[in-house]
Amino acid sequence: MRVFKFGGASVKDADGIKNVYDVLQKVGYEDVILVVSAMGKTTNALEVVIKNYFDKSAELNSSVQEIKKYHNQILLDLFDDENHAVFGAVNAQFEELEYFLAHNKSPNYNFVYDQVVSFGELISTNILSHYMNFRGIQTQWLDVRNFIKTDATYRDAEVDWEATQQLISKNVPRKILNITQGFLGADENNFTTTLGREGSDYTAGIFAYCLNAESVTIWKDVPGVMNADPRYFENASLLNQISYREAIELAFYGATVIHPKTLQPLQKKEIPLYVKSFINPLLKGTCVSKGVDLEPQYPCFIVKREQLLISLSSIDFSFIMEENISEIFGLFHEFKIKVNLIQNSAISFSVCVEDKFGNFNELNAILSKKFKVEYSENVTLYTIRHFTEQAAETVEKNKEVLLKQVSRETMQIVTKELN
Ligand code: ASP
Ligand code: MG
């Protein structure tokens, strides 16, 4: 079996969905399972609904209506006959969502989040399945909650591999095009859970693992995995092949092409992962598999913006030792500040961090009692895997280099733009 994953961007409008049909025509759809995300930015829009719900905002109803309108327009563009059963079917899903919002009694934010946000995937797969049938491709719509079993950690559920393995290998039909939801699962009590934002890739990995699939393909609006983000680098090029290990490294440093959790189940069974263009589905794209680290051997660039470079030094010239370091890390953890790079010398300690939740000022007040704290805001962290002199020069050009760290395969450079 082959597992195909189509993300939100690939099904953001009627043309996108028609294109899924074209892709399937070109690459075949027998013995395939499609894992599909919510359409376009629907998950974000549902997060607004959840916020309105908890804020008891007057906007609650209109935020739901907006999502309804968006899907309805897609239906109108896809099906010329307004009496087609899909209109009623999607409407019933929205009624179910509205019923939940009107009757729910649980004050648990994460629980409510999962029950609400899951409608994005349930609706998108419903539409897709109807559309494929309409175009003559027989499909089987699967409710993923009958297959992926998880614990009850809402918004970040842990997969129960044993139960999931059994259900998938027993109950997924073969020889037909299966369509199911990414991102979702169900707990023991059959409440909906989710696997964390952008979790649909992971869903594809779970199915592939349990089905001993021949491959997974993630269909994207880019030709495959590039050695740099084309938005920031002029000469970004396609990588033909990367190893699981390299892909995990790239994800670790912040490359966002492949969700890191996805790779673990695939690596275990050596199932290749292809990243391909849904615009040119017959092109080779990138293959992530066992074997050569990287082909071609280009340096790979990963950029993290809006970082904070903090230097701590001891006030009395004493050494910064294990106990200080563990205390400092404890504080970063407590204040939800993510550390992306560390460098230390005898009396100073530098970290490049991401302060996503704006907690640094509060933390700084605590740190300043014990250390001399210096920091630069709004710096950029570049990571170059398989660096070369020339690659480093490209990064450093026209910038002030604040810190540089080199290991065998990886160079990290913290810079400040010169204006
Ligand atoms: N729709 C979910 C999200 O946007 C899952 C995914 O797209 O992978 O996070
Ligand atoms: Mg999405």
324-367 tens-digit pLDDT: 889 999 999 999 999 999 998 878 889 999 998 899 999 999 99
- Predicted local confidence at residue 314, as pLDDT: 85
pLDDT digits (tens, 9 = 90+) for 1-47: 999 999 999 999 999 999 999 999 999 999 999 999 999 999 999 99
For residue 181, pLDDT beyond 90: yes
Distance 361 CA to ligand 2 centre (A): 33
CA-CA distance, 178 to 355, in Å (whole number)? Answer: 42
- Whether residue 328 lies inside any domain: the answer is yes
The residues lining ligand 1, judged by C-beta closer than 6 Å to any ligand atom, are 7-8, 37-38, 43, 120, 182-183, 197-200
Asked if residue 325 is part of any domain, the answer here is yes
Is there a single domain that holds both residue 191 and residue 305?
A: no
Which residue in the block uniquely carries the two structure tokens 């989710």?
A: 194
The Cα 289–Cα 273 span in angstroms is 6
- Residue 320 pLDDT > 90, yes or no? no
415 CA to centre of ligand 1 in angstroms:
32
Question: What's the domain count of the chain?
Answer: 2
Q: Which of 169, 201, 220 is the last residue of a domain?
A: 220
Nearest atom of ligand 1 to the alpha carbon of 8: 7
Q: Are residues 33 and 177 in the same domain?
A: yes
Same domain, 172 and 320: no
Question: What is the average pLDDT across 78-91?
Answer: 95
Please indicate, yes or no, whether residues 209 and 78 belong to a single structural domain of this protein. Answer: yes
Task: From the CA of 198, give the closest atom in ligand 1.
Answer: 8
Query: pLDDT-derived band of residue 292, with 50, 70 and 90 as boundaries?
Result: confident
Q: Give residue 296's pLDDT.
A: 96
Q: Which of 220, 245, 260 is the last residue of a domain?
A: 220
Q: Which ligand is nearest to the CA of 204?
A: 1
Give the pLDDT score at 93. Answer: 98
The number of the ligand 1 atom at minimal distance from the alpha carbon of 121 is 1
Query: Binning pLDDT at 50, 70 and 90, where does residue 155 land?
Result: very high
Phi, psi of 286 (to 5 degrees): -110, 140
Q: Tell me, what's the pLDDT at 252? A: 85
**Protein residue with its CA nearest to atom 6 in ligand 1:** 198
pLDDT at position 291 over 80? yes
Q: Which atom of ligand 1 is nearest to the CA of 199?
A: 8
> How many angstroms does the Cα of residue 46 sit away from the middle of ligand 2?
11
Residue 317: what pLDDT?
Answer: 74
State whether 193 and 320 are in the same domain.
no
Q: Give the Å distance between the CA of 124 and the centre of ligand 2.
A: 11
Q: Mean pLDDT over all residues of the chain?
A: 95
CA of 286 to the centre of ligand 2 (A): 21
Mean pLDDT value of segment 137-166: 97
Asked if 171 and 40 sit in the same domain, the reply is yes
Q: For residue 49, is pLDDT > 90? A: yes
Ligand minimally distant from the alpha carbon of residue 46:
1
Report the alpha-carbon distance of residue 367 to residue 290 in Å, rounded.
45
Domain span holding position 353? 300-417
CA of 97 to the centre of ligand 2 (A): 19
Instruction: Specify the ligand 1 atom closest to the Cα of 38.
Output: 1
Which positions ≥6 away from 353 have C-beta within 8 Å?
307, 308, 310, 332, 337, 338, 339, 340, 360
201 Cα nearest atom in ligand 1? 8
Tell me which H or E stretch contains 6.
Answer: strand 2-6
312 & 208 share domain = no
Answer yes or no: is 371 within a domain. yes
In a domain, 246, yes or no: no
pLDDT given for residue 315 in this prediction: 83
- What is the reported pTM? 0.91
CATH number at residue 339: 3.30.2130.10
The span from the CA of 102 to the CA of 241, in Å, is: 50
Residues 209 and 308 in one domain: no
Ligand 1: atom nearest CA of 196 is 9
Helix (H, G, I), strand (E, B) or coil at 47: helix
For residues 66 and 163, membership in a common domain is answered with: yes
**Band (230; pLDDT cuts 50, 70, 90):** confident
Q: Can you give the pLDDT at residue 348?
A: 85
Confidence of residue 207 (pLDDT cuts 50, 70, 90): very high
Residue 386 located in a structural domain: yes
**Does residue 302 contact residue 248 with C-beta atoms inside 8 Å?**
no
| Pocket test residue of 36, 113, 197, 202 for ligand 1, highest count of atoms within 8 A of CB | 197
The CATH number of the domain holding residue 93 is 3.40.1160.10
In this prediction, residue 34 carries a pLDDT of 98
Nearest Cα residue to 159 out of 126, 118, 120, 203: 203
Same domain, 202 and 318: no
In a domain, 286, yes or no: no
Residue having the nearest C-alpha atom to atom 8 of ligand 1: 198
365-382 pLDDT, tens per residue? 999 999 999 999 999 999
d(CA 254, CA 303): 7
Whether residue 194 is found in the same domain as residue 315: no
User: Is residue 234 in some structural domain?
Assistant: no
Backbone dihedral angles phi then psi of residue 383, each to the nearest 5 degrees: -115, 130
| pLDDT value, residue 107 | 97
191 C-alpha vs ligand 2 centroid, how far in Å?
Answer: 21
Give the Å distance between the CA of 321 and the centre of ligand 2.
43
- Residue at 89 is within a domain: yes
pLDDT class for 258, splitting at 50, 70, 90?
confident
For ligand 1, the distance from its centroid to the CA atom of residue 300, given in whole angstroms, is 26
Q: Whose Cα sits closest to atom 3 in ligand 1?
A: 198
| Angle formed by the axes of helices 85-103 and 119-134, nearest 10° | 170
- Judge if 201 and 319 occupy the same domain: no
Nearest CA to ligand 1 atom 5: 198
SS3 of 259, please?
Answer: coil
Domain final residue, candidates 151, 185, 220 = 220
Ligand number with the minimum distance to the CA of 198: 1
d(CA 134, CA 355): 48
Which pLDDT value is given to residue 21?
98
The confidence score (pLDDT) of residue 56 equals 96
